Amino acid sequence: MVMMCAGLQALLQYASQSSAVQARSTLQGRNIYDGCCTLDIQYSNLQELQVNYNNERTRDFTNAALPSEQSRPGNPGNNIMSSLFGEGGHVYSMGAGGPRPGGFQQSGGHPALGMNSYGQVAMGGASAAAAAFGGVLPPGITGTNDRSTLLVSNLVPEKIDADRLFNLFSNYGNIVRIKILHNKPDHALIQMGDGFQAELAFNYLKGVTLFGKRMDVNFSKHAQINPSPDTSDFSSSPLNRFNRNAAKNYRYCCAPTKMIHVSSLPADIALEDITSHLSAHGTVANAKVFESNGKKQALMLFESEEQATEALVCKHASQLQSNTIRLAFSKLASV
């Protein structure tokens, strides 16, 4: 249901709550076109859509027999608004803000508008995915993958855990769940937010050296990781990087580099304190502290990509003084 009120807005009803949550997680902050039409997706208080006509503004994908009544002259949204307000004239609030699990009921409908039979969001082809990268997908990225779970192997069991895997893979998308396999402790399953994010992680992290071993990354035969006591759930973690400004964060995606960008630093932090905090993982060849938009940040250049990767894996989301700092790979070649 499309509405012309406070800009172009739309209400979409999915077949289940999980499908709606997956859609929002995947598409929030994405651009429909290159550099514009950024999606702002929020949950609605409305439990069910009442659609009376199948036309250019409303459609019931479960009932093709509905009439296609034309909009009245001079008031193109009249039929839409009558459906929204209902027969008794009561307004259905569209709501805003975060999810409301208690008021979000499963209801009828159809997983249309890009939702496949597995409840995963189809991005509408490579062109839609490319919009997040300014119109051109990175080399090796198709934007059409629909498998969101990765199998990571050749890990170092003594040095790796779910949190450290999260620190690395969350550079390429939101993490839903991580499970380290007990019968193969050098293997782990990582469920990303969607297939596009999984493809980014696969493309950028396959063959990366971590703790002295070349990590192998492949797509898993499992569509998802089921919740269990030995599974770490990160679906609601505030450390997921792509909940806000997703399109902007996609543009920063790159393979591990020697350069680490450090943010969320204390305002009075000294460069020596940052260097000391990270130097346990390698030699910092060059570094600088700077301010951007009034916030203290730093660039730390390590001697090798392996050292920088270890620093990010171990120190992202760690405490430095009173702050939880954030680390990310930078495309800059020099400080």
The full set of domain ranges for the chain reads: 1-120, 149-250, 259-329
CATH number of 1-120: 3.30.70.330
Phi, psi of 223 (to 5 degrees): -70, -30
With CA atoms as reference, report the closest residue to 76 among 8, 149, 168, 173.
Answer: 8
Q: CATH topology of 149-250 equal to that of 259-329?
A: yes
Q: Domain 149-250: which topology?
A: Alpha-Beta Plaits (3.30.70)
**With the CA atoms of 281, 287, 292 and 295 taken in that order, what torsion angle do they form, in degrees rounded to the nearest 10?**
50
pLDDT digit string, tens, across residues 130-180? 667 777 788 888 888 989 999 999 999 999 999 999 999 999 999 999 999
Residue with tokens 């020697």: 258
pTM listed for this prediction? 0.66
Residue-level pLDDT at 262:
98
Burial of 329 (0-12, 13-18, 19+ CB in 10 A): buried
Query: Distance between CA atoms of 310 and 257, rounded to whole angstroms?
Result: 11
Query: Distance between CA atoms of 218 and 40, rounded to whole angstroms?
Result: 32
Greatest distance between any 2 Cα atoms in the chain: 71
pLDDT digit string, tens, across residues 29-44? 776 765 567 788 888 8
Q: Domain 259-329: which topology?
A: Alpha-Beta Plaits (3.30.70)
